Amino acid sequence: MVGVERLDGGPRSAVVVGAGVVGLSTAWFLQERGVEVTVVDRVGVAAGASWGNAGWIAPGLAIPLNEPAVLRYGLRSLFDPAAPLHIPLTADPKLWAFLTRFAAHCRWPSWTRAVEANLPLNEESVEAYDVLTANGVEASTVAAPITAAFTSAGQAQGLLRELHRMAAAGQPVDHTGLSTTDLREQVPLAAPALTAGVRIDGQRFVDPGGFVQALGRAVVARGATIRTFDVADVHADNAGVVVRTKDGNAISAEAAVLATGAWLPRLAARQGVRTPVRAGRGYSFTVPVREPVHGPLYLPEVRVACTPYQGGLRVAGTMEFRDPDAPPDKARVDAIIASVRPLLDGVWWADRTDVWVGPRPVTPDGRALIGATRTPGVYVAGGHGMWGLAHGPITGRLLAEQITTGKQPAALREFDPLR
């Protein structure tokens, strides 16, 4: 067991439920503080949203989803099955209750509060990754600007207004406008339809699945056990916390962390967490390209993110509100391709591989759920929306501090899961 700190009075053992980037980061930083850790996941390491996302560590683009324009766009696209934001017309009352709460938070005061809440996470997100890679996580992060490309300078103004609002809320973003010529130099695959761009500097990207798998190996090398089973219940007893499986087995520890992503409500609601979390499912796939792509590309008009991946291009898009375990919908992949094909040249769409769907955990107010629950010794970490990869390591570090000291860091106050 590797640990650099042992705090008297803090827990000596913990079970982390969830082996994605948030859960494994929490496990790693708990180990730094001398806690013996067991990690439990129903499938395995990086099996959920941690594997197939765009891989951006992009604090400059951690823009909350709940802005007024998203509500207007969602209403317009409600009956369009090919729209990037897809809400199925089902009779799910919980989904419609969630969307009603989400709509109520699509106001600038709520959006600004979410931006301000994310500030301390954004400020330390890259540094938290550096701590991991400098101390045994054998994976790399790549520094590169993210280029946002548009069909006109007028369309680019939408992102520039968002960045201006971010700066006014305390999150300045280093960015530069790009002419058509500059855009071609930055993105050689840009089709003639793309004529303007914005370069967002100071960002990074990773192979998300590879990074999280390396993080899992590092956690095991430091003494943890990773077990695969489905958790049915988490409750406190006289000795601490009991994590019980569906087949009746149990693991006992002094603390437990629920980091199950879009599945968080299944366990967290029993711990007094009332803020709903819904799966905003995203799709991705990998395509070969005519020439190498050296940095991420963002296409805001069609809400698609593209990232260099294993010699090709990972293309990720769609926000689909469906059950996290629902089967993939091929029509969503076809819609992404149809929207991006006119914007990029030299992409071999028919040769796509690694088609994937994964659920991003979305809260109605744009703020994650990080901290203690009403059950003594039980904590939650989730609801990061599209920014779980960027905020996973810093979430783990801050939550490990709270668990071992019993004091809530100031940076976590706005993420209180009992709000």
Q: Is 4 part of a structural domain of the chain? A: no
Q: Give 3-state DSSP helix, strand, coil % of the chain, rounded to 5.
A: 40, 25, 35
Q: What is the pLDDT of residues 377-388, one digit of tens each?
A: 999 999 999 999
Q: What values do phi and psi take at 372, rounded to 5?
A: -80, 150
Q: What is the pLDDT of residues 276-329, one digit of tens each?
A: 999 999 999 999 999 988 899 999 999 999 999 999 999 999 988 889 999 999
Q: What is the pLDDT of residues 186-238, one digit of tens each?
A: 999 999 999 999 999 999 999 999 999 999 999 999 999 999 999 999 999 98
Q: Is 42 part of a structural domain of the chain? A: yes
Q: Is 265 part of a structural domain of the chain? A: yes
Structural domain harbouring 223: 13-415
Q: Is 392 part of a structural domain of the chain? A: yes
Are 368 and 268 in contact by the 8 Å Cβ rule? The answer is: no
- Record the tokens describing residue 387, joined without a space: 């920014």
Amino acid found at 236: A
Q: Is the pLDDT of residue 414 over 50?
A: yes
Q: What is the pLDDT of residue 248?
A: 84
Q: What is the pLDDT of residues 63-120, one digit of tens each?
A: 998 988 876 666 666 666 677 777 777 768 888 899 899 999 999 999 999 999 999 9
Sign of the CA dihedral running 348, 350, 355, 360: positive
Q: What is the pLDDT of residues 148-165, one digit of tens each?
A: 999 999 999 999 999 999
pLDDT bracket for residue 2 (50, 70, 90): very low
Q: What is the pLDDT of residue 1?
A: 44
Q: What is the pLDDT of residue 91?
A: 64
Q: What is the pLDDT of residue 126?
A: 96
Q: What is the pLDDT of residue 4?
A: 44
- CATH code where residue 246 lies: 3.50.50.60
Q: Is 37 part of a structural domain of the chain? A: yes
- The H or E element containing residue 148 is strand 146-150
Q: What is the pLDDT of residue 386?
A: 93
Average pLDDT estimate for 343-354: 97
Burial pattern 4-41, b for ≥16 Cβ within 10 A else e, equals eeeeeebbebbbbbbbbbbbbbbbbbbbbbbbbbbbbb
Burial pattern 79-105, b for ≥16 Cβ within 10 A else e, equals eeeebbbbbeeeeeeebeebbebbbeb
pTM of the predicted structure, to 2 decimals: 0.94
With a CB cutoff of 8 Å and minimum separation 6, the contacts of 325 are none
Query: How far apart are the C-alpha atoms of 214 and 219, rounded to whole Å?
Result: 9
Q: Dihedral (C-alpha) 148, 154, 160, 161: value to the nearest 10 degrees? A: -140
Q: What is the pLDDT of residue 17?
A: 98
Q: What is the pLDDT of residues 8-35, one digit of tens each?
A: 578 999 999 999 999 999 999 999 999 9
Q: Is 269 part of a structural domain of the chain? A: yes
Query: How far apart are the C-alpha atoms of 49 and 36, rounded to whole Å?
Result: 26
With a CB cutoff of 8 Å and minimum separation 6, the contacts of 91 are none
Q: Is 8 part of a structural domain of the chain? A: no
- The H or E element containing residue 218 is helix 208-221
Q: What is the pLDDT of residue 202?
A: 94
Query: How far apart are the C-alpha atoms of 29 and 394, rounded to whole Å?
Result: 9
Q: Is 226 part of a structural domain of the chain? A: yes
What's the structural domain count of the chain? Answer: 1
pLDDT bracket for residue 50 (50, 70, 90): confident
